[in-house]
């Protein structure tokens, strides 16, 4: 693991990009510019916090009861699901949502220009990763932090045979009140409902969560919006090379989660950029696949 002194010497940028110890000594990147403030955990390569300068509230929910320890995903921000989404597809006892979220990522690059910060993190196959998944891979996650937030995930096949991945940027968006929140842009789109044994349905109108919601939208559009009438803001989600949008809120099942307060379901909605289930991506040797998403916040009356 890269030590903090080395990280700050090579990649630090005065007070605008600083590497520091977070909870449990896990290293974080803190970004503060005239355009935005943000925090990224090297554990999981995970965005924890982002707030544009013109925004009163953080874009993301982060649980006050989040557990910061090896082998446990941090509850909130934007955890990564990779190289599989959901339960272990091989039924081999491996953890749900893959292993990339539970490893320390390497800082590869940091650029600062015109108050825009670009940070690239990397993860590569090792003897340890091959215990869980045999593929030879190179993974890159790039964050572009300005008055909007852009995240891209690039998977490269470094081996001699094709491999298949499913993945998601599992974004937890902070909302003022789930009862005053709606998701616009999925009307008429078919989805699989995990709460109903993955049966297939079609969305009718906007999504207004009123109970546990766990849906994988198929042939998803490239843009949707979260309308938060409590915090008086709109969150635009623009994605590319992602076939699915996953919408999740545990509702009262939040009480069963050790790293979330029982009533926290009222304060977030997950709208995830994904390639999941039947939309897994096959990557040939020597080729790469890049999924990306941009988040833009604005005020509403």
pLDDT tens-digit profile of 249-278? 999 999 999 999 999 999 999 999 999 988
**pLDDT at 1 exceeding the cut of 80:** no
Question: Quick one: average pLDDT of 117-132?
Answer: 96
How many of the other CB atoms lie within 10 Å of CB of 18? 17
Beta bridge partners of 246: 216, 272
For the cut 90, the answer to whether the pLDDT of residue 2 exceeds it is no
pLDDT in tens, 12-27: 999 999 999 999 999 9
Evaluate whether 273 touches 291 at the Cβ level (below 8 Å).
yes
| pLDDT-based confidence at residue 182 (cuts at 50, 70, 90) | very high
- At residue 175, does pLDDT exceed 90? yes
Q: Is the pLDDT of residue 79 over 90?
A: yes
**What's residue 26's pLDDT?**
93
Q: Return the minimum-mean-pLDDT range out of 89-93, 103-107, 161-165, 236-240.
A: 89-93
pLDDT (0 to 100) of residue 301: 79
The 10 Å Cβ neighbour count of residue 140 is 20
Confidence of residue 6 (pLDDT cuts 50, 70, 90): very high
> Dmax over Cα atoms in the chain, in whole Å?
55
Residues taking part in catalysis = 170, 272
Q: Which two tokens stand for residue 28?
A: 């974080």
Tokens found for residue 197: 């044994």
CA-CA distance, 167 to 104, in Å (whole number)?
Answer: 18
- The predicted pLDDT at position 81 comes to 98
Q: What is the model's pLDDT at position 32? A: 98
Give the chain's count of helices (H) and strands (E): 2, 22
Domains along the chain with CATH numbers: 4-299 (2.70.98.10)
Res. 54: pLDDT tops 90:
no
The whole-chain average pLDDT of the chain stands at 97
Query: How far apart (Å, rounded) are the C-alpha atoms in residues 40 and 19?
Result: 10
Distance CA 136, CA 151 (A): 23
Strand residues in 22-136 grouped as ranges (E): 27-32, 36-41, 46-52, 80-81, 106-113, 116-124
């Amino acid at each position: 693991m890269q030590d903090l002194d080395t990280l700050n010497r090579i990649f630090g940028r005065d007070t605008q990009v600083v590497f520091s110890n977070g909870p449990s000594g896990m290293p974080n990147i803190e970004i503060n510019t005239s355009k935005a403030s943000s925090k990224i955990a090297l554990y999981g390569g995970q965005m924890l916090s982002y707030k544009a300068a013109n925004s009163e509230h953080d874009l993301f929910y982060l649980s006050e009861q989040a557990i910061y320890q090896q082998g446990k995903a941090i509850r909130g921000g934007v955890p990564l699901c990779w190289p599989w989404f959901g339960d272990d597809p091989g039924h081999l006892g491996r953890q749900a949502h893959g292993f990339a979220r539970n490893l320390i990522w390497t800082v590869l690059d940091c650029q600062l220009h015109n108050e825009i910060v670009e940070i690239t993190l990397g993860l590569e196959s090792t003897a340890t990763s091959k215990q869980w998944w045999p593929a030879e891979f190179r993974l890159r996650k790039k964050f572009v932090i300005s008055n909007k937030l852009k995240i891209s995930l690039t998977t490269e096949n470094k081996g001699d045979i094709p491999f298949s991945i499913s993945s998601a940027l599992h974004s937890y968006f902070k909302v003022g009140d789930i009862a005053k929140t709606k998701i616009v842009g999925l009307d008429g789109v078919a989805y699989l409902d995990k709460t109903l044994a993955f049966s297939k349905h079609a969305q009718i109108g906007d999504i207004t969560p009123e109970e546990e919601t766990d849906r994988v939208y198929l042939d998803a559009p490239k843009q949707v919006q979260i309308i938060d009438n409590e915090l008086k803001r709109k969150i635009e989600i623009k994605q590319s090379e992602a076939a699915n949008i996953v919408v999740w809120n545990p509702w009262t099942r939040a009480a069963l989660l050790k790293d979330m307060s029982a009533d926290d379901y009222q304060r977030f909605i997950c709208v995830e950029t994904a390639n999941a289930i039947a939309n897994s991506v096959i990557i040939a040797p020597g080729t790469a696949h890049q999924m990306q998403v941009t988040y833009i916040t604005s005020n509403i009356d």
